[in-house]
Each structure stands twice: as structure tokens, then as C-alpha cells.
Amino acid sequence: MIDTDSSSGLDVGNATVTFASTTAVADVSFSVPSGSTLSVLGPSGSGKSTLLRAIAGLETLASGIVSIGGQDQGPVPINERQLGMMFQDHALFPHLDVSSNVGFGLKMRGITGAKAAERISEVLDLVGLDGFGQRDVQTLSGGEAQRVALARSLAPSPRVLLLDEPLGSLDRVLREDLVTELRSLFARLNVTVVHVTHDQQEAFALADDVLIMRDGVVVQHGPPTDLWYRPTNAFVAEFLGHPNIWRDSNGIVVAPVPSLTLVDTASSSEVLDVARGVVNDVAFREGRWRLLVAEDTGSRRQITVDSDVAHAVGDAVSVGIDIKKLHPLSGS
């Protein structure tokens, strides 16, 4: 079995990265307990990949510290940090076969011969590529190439595994399958992982904790359920895909879609408010009908609600709102 360092928790303290007059990462701090997975989530240009490269030592910190297992990594050369890295574009060597690609990191650490061959075979089996060793990497499918890249990053038994948009080039079905496999694999290996992505579903499915970045700073950090049900501000709510962000007498609130339901009356004790309106749009997604309802009284909100029953554009409907599940937001 591939060994990992059980004392390899990651701590990042007040990390700042600058390029000329631009601050790409500003005073970022977080911890990843040993054996857990953190997803760093954010739009393009938010600083998430720069942060990952700073952890790896590929970008220089203007200030702050990166520590693994309690050891400051600043003085440690990049090739001695015992990190595994996996990128979106695989970065496989086209002139080497699968085994040679997987064994590259082992060779850099002086592990060759029978010991390297045993490790290569072990890690290929681990990622579901048993028997692929002699394959030309240019004949691999996208999913197979990603597995080879993962095997290469795991082969030297890294203390921390760094994943930079690892599934971004794959189609949705394959991406979802690999997320499931990765989550199971990381749990089996008890490996510490930092995973960068712009895909909320991927981050939530894979990570124990999620850190959301915007313009180089952390805007929220916590378990996926906390971020989804209690976003701190309108940016987080919008970025995570909440469609119902309304301004009412108390300020800006988010109404998660499950807090809404189509009703005939307000008789349910759980429904404390009812909005009446007209269906403006209908889309079928994941087994239900998603309706966009334009409220015809009061604030005239645009309301997104799911229904088990099909409706047509122009239908008059009533939406029950469980106001206990509304969550207040700041405006930024």
C-alpha cells in the first residue's frame, strides 16, 4: 500500500504574493488537517492557482509562511518539499510510456530498479490502470491520462497533494465519476490535499472544507454545508449558484431553492409567506421542472422554484416561502 505521512498537515499563515504593483494573494491564512481535503474555489483571476503555486514554492511569498507538519517550508528547496502536483493539462511526457511517466518522480528521488517497478505497479493498480505500464501516453483517453498524472503525483508518497483544476478538461459525466473515485482514494490513503477549482459542484463533492477567494483574498471558509446554507455575502451566494437573492425590508437575503414550494394556499404551518406571480420560464433539470416566476405584487421579485409538475409560461402560481430558511447577506 502507498504510504503517506500522517503528520503532514498544512498551515498557511498570512501568505501574500505580489507581481510588480499587483497583489495576487493578500494575507491568506488557513489550515488543512492531516488526511483532509481543502478545495480552493473562486472565479478566474481570484488568486487560487497563484496560492497553490506559492504553497509548492513555484511563486515567492512576499510575506507569510507555509508550514507542513509544523516545518516552515521557506528554506526547503522545491524538490525536497515532498509535494505531489497534478495539473489540468496532465503535463505528461509524450516521449515516455505510462510507467516511465509514473516513475519520473521516483527517479528524481533516486528510487530505481525493482523498488521503483514495484511502486509503479502498485500505484497504477491503485488508480485503476493495472496493465497500462507499457502504453504510449498519446494513445490514452482524457480520463486515462488524468489517472496517469494522478499516479505520477502519488508515486513518491507526497506529504501534501496539490491539484490545480485537475478535472477541468473532462466532460461532465467523466468528471463526476473521477470525483467519486478521488474522494474514495484520498480517504483510503489518508493524504492531505489542496484542490483548486472554479467548479462549485466539484469542490463540494470532493472537499471536507472549502475556501472561497475573490481578488486575492479569502471571502469565506468552512464546510460545504455551511457555505451553501450560510453564505456570508451576495458574491458568495451568487458564485455558488443561488438564484434567489432578494432585497427586502431587512436588507439582502438568499432563499435557497429548497425553502420554496408551489402551494395552493398558505395552510401549511411551515409556509409563513406566499408570493403570487406568473411563470416566465420553464426548464427541465435533474428530474424536476425549474420555474422562473415573476411576482405580480409587492417587491415584484424574480423567484426560482422547483416543481414536480410541469407548468407552462404564463401560468399563474403561488410560491410558499419558508422565511425561517432565508439567510441574510451583506451586500458585497
- pLDDT-based confidence at 271, cuts 50/70/90? low
Give the residue-averaged pLDDT of 107-128: 88
**Segment 277-299 mean pLDDT:** 90
Higher-pLDDT residue of 131 and 249 is 131
Q: Which is higher by pLDDT, 158 or 330?
A: 158
Per DSSP (E only), the strands in the chain are 10-19, 22-32, 37-41, 63-68, 71-72, 83-87, 160-164, 192-197, 209-214, 217-222, 245-248, 251-254, 260-262, 273-285, 288-295, 302-307, 316-321, 327-329
- CA atoms of 327 and 258, how far apart (whole Å): 13
Q: Which three cell numbers stand for residue 227?
A: 457555505
CB of 256 within 8 A of CB of 325?
A: yes
Is residue 287 pLDDT above 50, yes or no?
Answer: yes
> Which grid cell sits at 233?
455575502
pLDDT in tens, 196-224: 998 898 899 999 999 999 999 999 999 99
Average pLDDT over residues 71-80: 90
Q: Band of the pLDDT at 1, cuts 50, 70, 90? A: very low
- Residue ranges and CATH numbers for the domains of the chain are 10-234 (3.40.50.300), 244-329 (2.40.50.100)
Report how far residue 28's alpha carbon sits from residue 15's, in angstroms, rounded to the nearest whole number. Answer: 5
Region 270-292: mean pLDDT is: 89
**pTM, two decimal places:** 0.87
First to last CA, the chain: 48
Q: How confident is the model at residue 289 (pLDDT cuts 50, 70, 90)?
A: very high
What's the rounded mean pLDDT across residues 236-250?
88
pLDDT bin (cut points 50, 70, 90) of residue 144 is: confident
Q: What are phi and psi of 9, to 5 degrees?
A: -65, 150
